[in-house]
Amino acid sequence: MRRVSFVLISAFMFAWAVVGAAQGNPEAAKVKNPVPASAESVAAGKAAFTKNCRFCHGADAKGNGPMAPQGSHPSDLTDAKWDRGSSDGEIFAVIRDGAAPKFEMKGYKGKLSDTDMWNVVNYLRSIGTK
C-alpha cells in the first residue's frame, strides 16, 4: 500500500510540475520590457541570438539546431505556442534562468546583459507569428 501511495504521489507531483511549467510564470508575466523594439534592438537581438542560441534553436529559430543535446527538443521560437509563457517578461525569464523542469537549456544570467536578453526578446517577437 505504501508503494502505491508513493507512486501516486510522485505521479501527481510530476504532473503538477509539468502543468505549472506549461502555464508560464505569473511573476515574470508582470515584468515589462524596458527596451523599445527598435530596428537597432532587433538587430542586436539577432546578433546575440546568432552567437548564443542558434546552435540549439537553429538559425531560423525553428528548434532544429545542429548542436541540440541528444534527446532534447528545443522550442520553435517562431510559432504561436509558448509553453513557458508568451509575455516578454516570461520569455526574458527563460533566457535568463533556463528552461524548467529539466533545465535542458541553461540560463544566460551572467553571460548576457539584461539589455542583450531584452534585445533577443525583441528579435524573437520580430520573427514570430503575428
What does the pLDDT look like over 16-64, one tens digit per residue?
Answer: 344 444 468 999 999 999 999 999 999 999 999 999 999 999 999 999 9
Q: What is the mean pLDDT of the chain?
A: 84
3 pLDDT higher than 90: no
Q: What average pLDDT does this structure show over 105-127?
A: 96
Q: Which of 92, 99, 74 is nearest to 22 (CA)?
A: 99
pLDDT given for residue 46 in this prediction = 98
pLDDT tens string 57-89: 999 999 999 998 888 889 999 998 888 898 999
Identify the three-state secondary structure at position 112. strand
Q: Which three cell numbers stand for residue 66?
A: 545542429
Q: Which fold would CATH assign to domain 24-127?
A: Cytochrome Bc1 Complex; Chain D, domain 2 (1.10.760)
Q: How far is CA 113 from the centre of its chain?
A: 16
Cβ atoms of residues 123 and 50 within 8 Å: no
For the four alpha carbons of 25, 29, 32 and 35, in that order, the dihedral sign comes to: positive
pTM of the model: 0.79
> Residue ranges per domain, the chain?
24-127
